[in-house]
Amino acid sequence: MDKPTCQNCYLSLFARECPGRGAKGMKPIIFIGDSPTISDVKNNDVFTGRSNKLLREYINNYKLDYYSHLTNIIRCHCTETMDYYANKCKPNVINDIKLIKPTLIIPVGGFVYKQLKDVEYYNMKHIVNKPIAYANSIMIPIYSPSYIIKNKAFEEYDKSFSLISDIYAKINVYYARLI
């Protein structure tokens, strides 16, 4: 059986599989990271690296795991997240968003936000936890787990996940009334 490859760049030729590509089911919340770690490639899953375990813990603690689809902008492991690779893989994420039709889109970190919104300059302090409309969904940018760990800013993740959980619950209550 041939390994899946992406036609946009050469990185996938060397990857056994691109983590996140075969995620199960369509979920109403999509968390988008920058690129897979070596741990992600070994486990054939996303957000399994040391710092990304924090993100998974928060997703689980706030009981969002069942509703979440996890993926990356850059699908194959690369030594550094670069605009070149992100531009090649970005159409895959855009297609995922169109297929999944998520209620919430959560860009994890500034690099992902920059790629999705096509902006050059931004200040994470001004965009974190500020819901905006994006692709018929609500986008809520959050800090990357490495930033949270490095700055010991765990209260920021508490704020972010509390906001995500509250918005998601309110939307579900609203749609339940319509049915």
Query: Whole-prediction pTM value?
Result: 0.83
pLDDT of residue 25: 38
Distance CA(131)–CA(77), nearest Å, equals 30
DSSP 67-92: GEEEEESS-S--SS--HHHHHHHHHH
- Which residues have CB under 8 Å from 126's CB, separation 6+? none
- Residue linked to tokens 């819901």: 131
**pLDDT per residue as tens digits for the range 58-102:** 999 999 988 899 999 988 887 776 888 888 889 999 999 999 899
CA 104 to chain centre: 10
101-129 in b/e form (b: 16+ CB < 10 A) is ebbbbbbbbbbbbbbbeeeeeeeeeebbe
